[in-house]
Each structure stands twice: as C-alpha cells, then as structure tokens.
A and B are shown apart, each in its own frame.
Chain A
Amino acid sequence: MNRVQVRIEKAGYGDLMVVPHLEFAVSGGELLVLLGPNGAGKTTSLRALVGTVDVSRRTLRLDDRDLSRLSTWQLAHAGVAFVPDGARCFANATVEENLRGAFEALRPRGAQGERRRLLDTVFNLFPILHQRQGQLAGSMSGGQRQMLAIARALMIEPKLLILDEPSAGLAPKLVEELFEALGRIKDSAGCAILMAEQNFAAAMGIADSCLVLDEGHVALAGPAAEIRHNERLRVAYLGL
C-alpha cells in the first residue's frame, strides 16, 4: 500500500526552532505538496523527516514498519528516497555512474536484470539521460541535473519519494516537462510522493492534496481540488 505517516516535533537548527509541530499522511500513488513562501519551514520539515536537521521527535511509519529510528542512509535502504534542492548530483561522476552507483549502494552484487529494468524505466521518463549517459553530471545544465537527481532517487525503487523544490531555477518549459514526468511517476511507480514547492500553479496541476505552511505552522490542509478553487485562502496564504 505504501501508506506513510509522519509526525515531527520541534524541528530546526540548534536553538532556532523552525517547525514546532507537523503531522500528515500520504499514500502510494498520491502526491502531497507542501506549499508556502520562503522561510515557511518546507525544507526544514523535509530535512527533519530524513534526519539532516535537528528534531526533538520524529515519527515515521511506512505501512506496518516503524522507520522512526533509522538514520539518513538507512532510510534509503528502507525505501525512502530524498532529492534535496539545488539539482544535486555526484558532479564528478558520469550520468551512468550516478545511476549505477545509486542502485549498487542498496542491492547485492549481480542484480543485473533488475538494474537494466530500472535503467529502462528512468531512461523512458527522461530520454535525455539516455543520450548523456557518458557525460559528467557536473557539466550538464540545471534541468538535466534535476532530471538525473530524480532518476537517481528512482533507481532505489522508492516507496516514498521526497522532493525539495524540484522546479527551483528551471525555465518554465522545463518545469512543465519535469512535472509531467512526476505525474507519470505517481501513476506508474506506486510510490507515495511528498514535494515542497513554491511554484503553486505547476504543483497544483499534479497534486492530490496539499498542506500550506506559514511561519512553521500549518495554515491550511486539504485535497488539492478544494484549495485550488478557494480564492480567499489563495490570496491570504499564497499571494496569488
């Protein structure tokens, strides 16, 4: 089913607490988008979830499994893939090495067939990566690196895919392409997707439900369809 339940208490940086409390759930095949302006606590919430910022208490359940005590690298082995902001890739490795390395970090030797199948899936989603297999990741454009970053996360066949501002810094044409791909991942991969975004219009196009953060607090939560048409809330919290 890939039902994910999350609870975060007091996430922040040292003495600076950014998100006092946050709770949500998301299921396989569903996309939950975290909206809100800069400094609302979106990135902090995601990083608290994957264990790279200080958090006083974190509860993370995936179906019947309790993942609360796992460290960042162990979460990847449990099927939680995180794509941090900034289109980060292993810059000094080629596209093919980025993808193969991500697969090999989790799988035993000799899973050639499975690797081939996953590679086919991501190349099908992002054909440009197939053409650029031998290129150093660091020498590609921002959009291509973002595609690689997402493809890398998909190489572990995640049950929960977490993306931090995937559209940041990309041209509108690329954002459209990227979100179209995310929509296809949602429909076909069966994983739950959690995404922080500032690009309201693009995010709402593929989101199933959304959660608006304002200064660390949940200002609004609900199905995307409702919020999309709620003029007052849009103006108040999103400035649209």
Chain B
Amino acid sequence: MTIASVSQAVLLSLTIAGLYAAVAAGLTLTVGVTRIINFAHGEFVMLGAFLTYWLHTRYALSPWLGMAASGVALGLFSMLVYRVFLARVLKQDEHNQLLATLGLSILLLNIAVILWSPDPRVMQAPALLPSLRLGDVSIPGNNFAVALVGLTLFLVMLWIKTHTRYGTQMRFASDDPELALHAGINVDRVFELSFVIGGAAAGVSGGLVALVLYVQPTVGVDLVIRAFAIIALGGLGNIPGALVGAAILALAEGLTSTFVPQGGSWGFGVAFLLLLLVLIVRPSGLFGKQVQT
C-alpha cells in the first residue's frame, strides 16, 4: 500500500461519489419536497443510461448531448408518471405511495429486461475529457467528467432550492403543505415541478452511468439503494448533507474493495454497515434536524 495507490483509490472513489451524488441529488429534491419515496428513481436513471447509450451507438451522438437529451426525456416522462399516476396516489395513505413507486420500479425494470434483454452493454465512447494526472496518480477522463457533472448537477439542485422563487415555494410546500395553500401556492403544481426536476436529474445521472458502468436493466437497483442511504446519511431533504453522504459512502466502498483481499464483494456491505452505525448514533442523519412531533 503506497501513498500513490491510496491517493489513486481515494480520487477514483471521489469520482464515483460524483455519480452517487447526482443520483441522490434528484431523489433528495423529490423526497424532500413531496415526501414521495420514489423507488422508481433508479429505473429513471437506468432509462437515461440506455438512452445515452443508444444515442451514441446508433446515432453517434456525443455522450454530452446524450446526457442532456436523457435529462429532457426523463423530465417529460416524470411529468407523465406524476400526472397519470402519482398525483392520484399522493392523496392516499403513505404505504400505498410506497407500494406504488415500488411497483412502478419493478414494472419498468421488467419491461427493460423483456425489450432489451438483461445483458450488460458497454458504451464505447471516446474519453470526454483528457485524463487528469497528478504525479503518479491518474484519473481517467470519463471518471473526471462524471465527478464534474455530478457536482454541477448537485449545485444546480441546491441553487434551485435556495435561490429561485420556485425553490422557496418548494420549501414552503414541504414545510407545511396546507399553510402553503393558504399562502396562495398551487402545492400540486409545485410537487409536480419538483418531481419533474428530480426526474430530469435522474436522466442526466443515467448518462453518467453509461460512461462508467455497464448499461443493463438492473443498474438502477443498487444505485437507488445507495441514494437512499446517502439521503439518510445526509439528513432528509438536506442537499449539502447528501454530498457529504455520497463521498463517505463511495470512499468506504472504494477503499474496502481496493485494499481488503477479495474486498470487491465487501465494499457494498461495509458502506451499509457504516450507514447503520451512523443511524444508530444519529437517527436523523449527520446533518439532519431532529424531527419534532
């Protein structure tokens, strides 16, 4: 274990943290505002990955544009899902919401398997950015791009929530939906908007997945579990907290799989052991407020 190998592992983990952060950023916006636990977020990511992959392999579209197209496509798809499906379920009991999004997740996953087979695919894209060399350490260009886009997506979510008037309305609607109605806010539309923005973020994250992971129908499953873990670590609805959560999770996973013999299969487990420990000590997450009821 040399300094170079450790720094290499740390930097690579941090780029993966960028991907996790991107997936979690959209989810935390949606969950934080609407309180819908959207299990299908992972499948939205998967659809974005497939779209970016095909746009590249069939139409030779640059993954940069593929990402943007996936963002738009999944934003529109989220609007459809919200209008015909979730808006109705939102008025129901919370358990029904959970089952509804879980059902949607399984449905989308299986449709993908039927239509496109479960085979993993690799997008043969030229590196989007030159690789980053720091002394003996080198970060492949696509990893660098993932980290960069992930972080940007994160900052955009944060900016929407804190610096736009829709952001204020989102915060009001999540704080006290009924009072928000009395303040003249069309809460239903604000919920829809936050769901659509979350979906668009999932689409862009899918583009990142296509750059560094296998494109396959099940790719969203592990990612959405990680995203929920990251949100729990950072505290519900706390966007900066989720960024730290993503870094912690990716580092725990990356370092375990690099330095523990046969650690490849341990990484996921160690990361979640860490999550359990944090939640035992601080049930509201590292940066979450203690909930008062």
**Chain A residues close to B by CB (< 8 Å):** 50, 52, 72-74, 76-77, 81-84, 88-93, 97, 100-102, 104-106, 109, 152, 156
Contact = CB atoms under 8 A, between A and B. Distances in A.
Contacts of B179: 84, 88-90
**Which of A72, A74, A77, A97: most chain B CB closer than 10 A?**
A72
A29 B180 CA distance: 26
B226 interface: no
Given A73-B184, A73-B187, A101 B178 contact: no
A105 B175 contact: no
Contact of A105 (B169, B171, B176, B178): B169
Contact of B172 (A52, A72, A93, A156): A93
A101 B172 contact: yes
A91 B165 CA distance: 17
Interface string B29-47: 0000000000000000000
Contacts of B183: 73, 76, 101-102, 105, 152, 156
B111 interface: no
Nearest to B175: A90
Contacts of B180: 73, 90
A92 to B, nearest CB: 5
Contacts of A81: 182
Given A76-B184, A101-B183, A106-B184, A52 B175 contact: no
B171 A93 contact: yes
Nearest to B289: A92
B288 to A, nearest CB: 12
Given A90-B171, A104-B165, A84 B178 contact: yes
Contacts of B171: 90, 92-93, 97, 101
A105 B182 contact: no
B168 A77 contact: no
Nearest to B172: A90
Given A73-B180, A76-B183, A106-B184, 15 more contacts: A50-B182, A72-B182, A73-B183, A73-B184, A76-B181, A76-B182, A76-B184, A77-B184, A83-B182, A84-B179, A84-B182, A90-B175, A93-B175, A97-B168, A101-B165
Given A101-B168, A104-B165, A104-B168, A90 B176 contact: yes
A90 to B, nearest CB: 5
In the complex, which range does the number of interface residues on chain B fall in? 10 to 19
Interface string B173-216: 00110111111111100000000000000000000000000000
B185 A91 contact: no
Contact of B168 (A84, A91, A100, A106): A100
Interface of B: 165, 168-169, 171-172, 175-176, 178-187
Contacts of B169: 101, 105
B175 A92 contact: yes
Contacts of B182: 50, 72-73, 76, 81-84
Contacts of A50: 182
A192 to B, nearest CB: 17
Contacts of A84: 178-179, 182
Contacts of B176: 88, 90-91
B147 to A, nearest CB: 30
Given A73-B186, A76-B183, A152-B183, A52 B168 contact: no
A106 B179 CA distance: 14
A90 B181 CA distance: 12
Given A73-B187, A88-B176, A93 B168 contact: yes
Contacts of A106: 184
Contacts of A102: 183-184
Contacts of A152: 183
Contacts of B187: 73
A3 to B, nearest CB: 22
Contacts of B165: 101, 104, 109
Contacts of A83: 182
A19 B89 CA distance: 30
Contacts of A97: 168, 171
B232 to A, nearest CB: 19
